């Protein structure tokens, strides 16, 4: 496994008015690995994703993406569709965002829009029936079929995407992101709301993506069993600051992480309890 860096987040700070969602955060995502971003609710994980995929412009700091061919893209300066088209970063969402009115197959073809547009001479040549376009659209359908097979959705290809079950929608969203041919795939809580069997299928799909396409993965996850099982590298956030960074085993035994997940020290717990009794007493009186 080569360990060169694909995504480097350096000193990123994101403020919303007075709220500091991410504070001076730096971490690396290495090529060919699964990196997990974990932390309690409100730690700023999704904000990191939004900065990486151009939803937000960080108040400070740099996010650089190094592609296989050596091109370096500064993601914090890019917007919208260029993140996917030029920087080759794709993402999925916590609340699934499929094109529910389009069929499953169309969802995957939309993701290959740029390839098809170029091949069809921006539709004009395609309408005139040029050969290049027919070949390209055949290749696009073949690619879509490949991902449908991997996501185990081949028999649902012509159904509207909105009719799929929750687990299937999640797999379709990942398949769609992969159809854009990304080098880095960001997954926002891919296992949320899945039952144990679906969760297992998901792990298999993600491992398969890594093994076969070399696409590096960055994922946010709450389900610790998923994180510990599939990730090679874990970054832990709390209140927008990095508190731990290392292999799953290292992170699991880090006292700071345990404190963040299980709560505060004993003395502070007593303080809090006292305060609560005080307040309830006052209310009764």
Partner 1 sequence: MEYFIQQTVNGITLGSIYGMIAIGYTMVYGIIGMINFAHGDIFMLGAFAALITFLILTAIFTSVTVVVALIVMMAVAILMASLWNWTIERIAYRPLRGSFRLAPLITAIGMSIVLSNFIQVTQGPRNKPIPQLVSQVYDVYGISISLKQILIVVITVVMMTAFWYLVNRTSLGRAQRATEQDRKMAALLGIDVDRTISITFIMGAALAAVAGTMYLMYYGVAVFSDGFTPGVKAFTAAVLGGIGSLPGALLGGLLIGLIESLWSAYFSIDYKDVATFSILAIVLIFKPSGILGRPEIEKV
| Residue 128 binds partner 1, judged by CB under 8 A | no
Q: Is 80 in the site for partner 1 (CB under 8 A)?
A: yes
From CA 70, how far away is CA 157, in angstroms rounded? Answer: 36
CB of 212 to partner 1, least distance (A): 21
Cβ distance to partner 1 smaller for residue 54 or 240: 54
Burial of 215 (0-12, 13-18, 19+ CB in 10 A): buried
Give me the least distance between CB of 133 and partner 1, in Å please.
9
- 143 is a site residue for partner 1 (CB under 8 A): no
Backbone angles phi, psi at 271, to 5 degrees: -55, -45
Q: Which tokens in the block code for residue 273?
A: 């309890």
From the list 6, 36, 38, 83, which residue makes contact with partner 1 (rule: CB under 8 A)?
83
Interface with partner 1 includes 117 (CB under 8 A)? yes
In angstroms, rounded to a whole number, what is the distance separating the alpha carbons of residues 44 and 24? Answer: 12
Site for partner 1 in 167-206 (CB under 8 A): 176-177, 180
Name which of 97 and 204 has its Cβ closer to partner 1. Answer: 97
Q: Which range, of 111-119, 220-228, 244-252, 253-261, touches partner 1 by CB under 8 A?
A: 111-119
Per the structure block, which two tokens stand in for 7? 């995504």
Q: Which stretch binds partner 1 (CB under 8 A): 98-106, 198-206, 208-216, 217-225?
A: 98-106
Compute the least distance from the CB of residue 123 to partner 1, in Å. 5
Which residue from 72, 127, 128, 258 is in contact with partner 1, where contact means CB under 8 A?
127
C-alpha to C-alpha distances, 148 to 199, 223, 242, nearest whole angstrom: 18, 25, 37
A 10 A CB-CB count for 110 gives 14
Q: Is 121 left (phi over 0), alpha (psi -120 to 50) or beta?
A: left
The alpha carbon of 78 is separated from its chain's Cα centroid by a whole number of angstroms, namely 18
Judge whether 72 and 158 are in contact, CB under 8 Å: no
C-alpha 126 chain-centroid distance: 34
Q: Which of 84, 199 has the CB closer to partner 1?
A: 84
Query: Which residues between 225 and 254 bind partner 1 (CB under 8 A)?
Result: none
Site for partner 1 in 8-67 (CB under 8 A): 53, 55
CB nearer to partner 1: give 99 or 239: 99
Q: Give alpha helix (H) positions in the chain.
A: 45-52, 80-85, 104-110, 113-119, 124-127, 131-150, 166-179, 196-213, 224-230, 248-252, 255-262, 266-284
**Nearer to partner 1 by C-beta: 186 or 235?**
186
Asked if residue 81 binds partner 1 (CB under 8 A), the reply is yes
Binding site for partner 1 (CB under 8 A): 53, 55, 80-81, 83-85, 90-91, 93, 97, 99-102, 106, 109-114, 116-117, 120, 122-123, 126-127, 137, 176-177, 180
């Amino acid at each position: 496994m080569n360990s060169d860096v694909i995504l480097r987040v350096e000193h990123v700070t994101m403020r919303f008015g007075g709220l500091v969602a991410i504070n001076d955060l730096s971490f690396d995502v290495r090529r060919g690995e699964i990196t997990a971003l974990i932390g309690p609710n409100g730690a700023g994980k999704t904000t990191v994703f939004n900065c990486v995929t151009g939803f937000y412009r960080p108040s400070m700091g740099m996010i650089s993406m190094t592609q296989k061919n050596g091109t370096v893209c500064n993601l914090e300066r890019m917007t919208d569709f260029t993140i996917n088209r030029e920087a080759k970063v794709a993402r999925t969402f916590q609340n699934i965002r499929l094109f529910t009115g389009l069929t499953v197959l169309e969802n995957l073809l939309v993701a290959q829009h740029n390839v098809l547009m170029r091949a069809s001479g921006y539709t004009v040549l395609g309408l005139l029936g040029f050969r290049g376009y027919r070949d390209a659209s055949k290749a696009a359908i073949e690619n879509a079929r490949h991902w449908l097979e991997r996501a185990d959705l081949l028999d649902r290809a012509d159904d509207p995407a909105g009719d799929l079950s929750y687990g299937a929608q999640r797999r379709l969203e990942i398949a769609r992101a992969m159809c854009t041919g990304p080098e880095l795939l960001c997954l926002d809580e891919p296992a949320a709301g899945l039952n144990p069997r679906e969760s297992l299928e998901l792990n298999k799909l993600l491992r398969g993506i890594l093994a076969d396409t070399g696409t590096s993965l960055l994922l946010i996850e709450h389900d610790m069993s998923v994180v510990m099982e599939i990730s090679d590298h874990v970054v832990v956030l709390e209140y927008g600051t990095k508190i731990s960074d290392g292999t799953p085993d290292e992170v699991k035994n880090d006292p700071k992480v345990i404190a963040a997940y299980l709560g505060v020290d004993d003395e502070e717990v007593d303080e809090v309890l006292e305060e609560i009794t005080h307040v309830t007493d006052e209310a009764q009186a």
